[in-house]
């Protein structure tokens, strides 16, 4: 992967991360079409840090307020009893706890199913299936469910359900924002509230995955250099990683463009429905299925098979 290709994938990441269309599916598909290979879970996770930095910048006031309230209540600022420490008197403290609760499903699944996520679940037929399925679900829930719940009405149960939607995004094609937004609309949250929850809840999960994948990539590259054997397991793992130069370039592009996309997306959902995104998902699934059936795209990346 050269710098131009990495930058283009960073642009794809920025344009699709926040929309309910699955950035990981787009990176997987565009990577296969452009460089003839899956860029890999490590590259995908690391460039997602760029888009999450854009989220931190855009929501910095909300994040600072929530963190301040959470730590303040935890150390007794709102009261010394357990209920006060858990946010009984402060909605921002409660939101802090809800983000933690909502992060648990993806954290647990990510650790327990890491190998499956990086190999089996990156089969493009699985991507096609969930692209279409969640497109239909988003269309139905957004059209049928009323917009009656705001972030201030969230409960611990709702946080778990949001978290399950985010957890399913470990499957390329579901979409981190798409899974969270779909589950949010199914519970009757407003479009804007569902988006804001999706953005805030993704921060710890995406940064955690990016850091872990960065560490893993460094270990693989170092182990490959020591082994000096292209057929070794370490070199096969490192072979899916394009190197730090292209990866950093892609991450920077995903940050700058991503910030602009956040602004536009929030304005869009405050006026329009998610119908266009649902149709796009279904249409993309059909196109990818045709490319798979005609042999233009392989369902499983050859390098992933070699490293399995």
Q: Are 14 and 51 in contact (CB under 8 A)?
A: yes
pLDDT digits (tens, 9 = 90+) for 131-165: 999 999 999 999 999 999 999 899 999 999 999 99
At 207 the pLDDT is 82
At 32 the pLDDT is 82
**Beta-bridge partner residues of 189:** 149
pLDDT digits (tens, 9 = 90+) for 236-247: 555 556 778 888
Q: Are 250 and 9 in contact (CB under 8 A)?
A: yes
Phi and psi for 2 in degrees, rounded to 5?
-90, 180
Paired tokens of 59? 């929501």
Mean pLDDT, range 174-202, rounded to an integer: 93
Mean pLDDT, range 64-76, rounded to an integer: 90
Residues with Cβ within 8 Å of residue 216, at least 6 apart in sequence: 42, 237
How would you label 223-250 residue by residue, b for 16+ Cβ within 10 Å and e otherwise? ebeeeeeeeeebbbbbbbbbeeebbbbb
| Predicted TM-score of the model (pTM) | 0.84
User: DSSP letter string over 172-195?
Assistant: TTS-HHHHHHHHHHHTTB-HHHHH
Segment among 68-77, 97-106, 127-136 with least mean pLDDT: 68-77
At 168 the pLDDT is 93
Segment among 166-175, 191-200, 299-308 with least mean pLDDT: 299-308
Q: Which domain holds residue 15?
A: 3-304
Mean pLDDT, range 250-278, rounded to an integer: 92
At 242 the pLDDT is 72
Number of domains comprising the chain = 1
pLDDT higher than 70, residue 112: yes
Q: Are 198 and 182 in contact (CB under 8 A)?
A: no
pLDDT higher than 50, residue 306: no
Segment among 61-75, 226-240, 279-293 with least mean pLDDT: 226-240
Each as own residue / partner, the long-range contacts of residues 142-145 (CB below 8 Å, 24 or more positions apart, any chain) are 142/185, 142/191, 142/273, 142/274, 142/275, 142/278, 143/273, 143/275, 145/185, 145/186, 145/187, 145/188
pLDDT higher than 70, residue 84: yes
């Amino acid at each position: 992967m050269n710098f131009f290709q990495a930058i283009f994938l960073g642009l794809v990441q920025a344009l699709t991360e926040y929309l309910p269309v699955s950035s990981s599916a787009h990176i997987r598909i565009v990577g296969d079409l452009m460089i003839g290979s899956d860029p890999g879970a490590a590259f995908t996770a690391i460039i997602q840090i760029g888009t999450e930095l854009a989220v931190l910048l855009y929501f910095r006031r909300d994040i600072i307020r929530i963190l301040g309230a959470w730590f303040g209540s935890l150390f007794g600022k709102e009261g010394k009893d357990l209920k006060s420490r858990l946010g009984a008197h402060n909605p921002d403290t409660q939101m802090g706890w809800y983000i933690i609760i909502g992060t648990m499903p993806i954290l647990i699944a990510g650790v327990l199913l890491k190998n499956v996520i990086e190999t089996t679940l990156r089969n493009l037929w699985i991507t096609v299936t969930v692209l279409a399925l969640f497109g239909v679900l988003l269309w139905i829930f957004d059209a049928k469910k009323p917009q009656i719940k705001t972030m201030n009405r969230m409960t611990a149960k709702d946080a778990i359900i949001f978290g399950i939607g985010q957890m399913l995004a470990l499957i390329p094609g579901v979409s981190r924002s798409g899974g969270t937004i779909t589950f949010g609309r199914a519970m009757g949250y407003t479009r804007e509230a569902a988006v804001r929850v999706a953005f805030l809840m993704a921060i710890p999960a995406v940064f955690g995955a990016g850091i872990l994948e960065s560490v893993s990539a460094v270990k693989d590259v170092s182990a490959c250099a020591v082994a000096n054997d292209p057929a070794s397991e370490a070199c096969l793992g490192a072979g899916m990683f394009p190197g730090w130069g292209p990866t950093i370039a892609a991450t920077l592009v995903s940050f700058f463009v991503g910030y602009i996309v956040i602004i536009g997306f929030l304005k869009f959902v405050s006026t329009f429905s998610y119908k266009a995104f649902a149709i796009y998902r279904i249409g993309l699934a059909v196109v990818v299925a045709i490319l798979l059936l005609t042999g233009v795209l392989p369902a499983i990346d050859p390098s992933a098979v070699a490293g399995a």
